[in-house]
């Protein structure tokens, strides 16, 4: 039986919005820890709660971007042209911004919010939000043996 190769994309930071109107202050940072470029076109992001099978699709990333090996991207919730969404975080040579153009924040439920990056229904990366932890990431659960 063929097993698809594991994607080497991971969440490195999850940050909730400062308030419900400042959509550009809410973001996630993804990193390609693999050896090949990863094209995000067609990927979707789901949001759910720890322990619940119910997930909501935030949207499909289109046209997307190519994440080179070792590169990081900050996916901001809002629109950079909408003043009410606030100023996006400054870019630098290591992290560029990509905007999701969502109409509202999605981390408003706080700790226990689970984000999953999917491609054609398959999980690419998954992380749980915990604002009390470094980078807003809950510690990874040990793999079941």
Interval 95-119: pLDDT, tens: 999 999 999 999 999 999 999 999 9
The tens digit of pLDDT for each residue in 10-30 reads 999 999 999 999 999 999 999
Give the distance from CA 143 to its chain's centroid: 22
Overall number of domains in the chain:
1
For residue 1, pLDDT over 50 is answered with no
Task: Provide the residue range defining the domain that includes 18.
Answer: 9-131
Is 139 a domain residue?
no
Residue carrying the six token digits 């991207």: 73
Residue 42 belongs to some domain of the structure: yes
Is residue 120 domain-resident? Answer: yes
- What is the C-alpha to C-alpha distance for residues 43 and 67, in angstroms, rounded to an integer? 12
User: Which band of pLDDT confidence, cut at 50, 70 and 90, is reported for residue 4?
Assistant: very low
The 8-class DSSP code of residue 2 comes to: -
- The domain spanning residue 95 has which CATH number? 2.60.40.1260
Beta bridge partners of residue 49, listed in sequence order: 113
Query: Taking the complete model, does pTM exceed 0.75, yes or no?
Result: yes
**Does a structural domain hold residue 136?**
no
- Domain assignment present for 121: yes
């Amino acid at each position: 039986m063929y097993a698809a190769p594991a994607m080497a994309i991971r969440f490195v930071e999850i940050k909730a919005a400062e308030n419900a109107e400042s959509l550009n202050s809410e973001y996630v940072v993804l990193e390609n820890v693999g050896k090949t470029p990863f094209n995000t076109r067609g990927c979707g992001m789901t949001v759910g709660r720890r322990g619940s099978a119910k997930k909501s699709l935030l949207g499909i990333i289109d046209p997307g971007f190519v994440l080179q090996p070792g590169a990081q991207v900050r996916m901001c919730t809002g629109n950079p042209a909408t003043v009410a969404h606030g100023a996006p975080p400054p870019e630098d040579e290591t992290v560029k911004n990509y905007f999701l153009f969502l109409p509202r924040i999605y981390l408003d439920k706080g700790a226990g919010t689970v984000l999953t990056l999917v491609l054609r229904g398959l999980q690419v990366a998954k992380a749980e939000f915990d604002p009390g932890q470094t980078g807003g990431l809950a510690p990874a659960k040990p793999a079941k043996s």
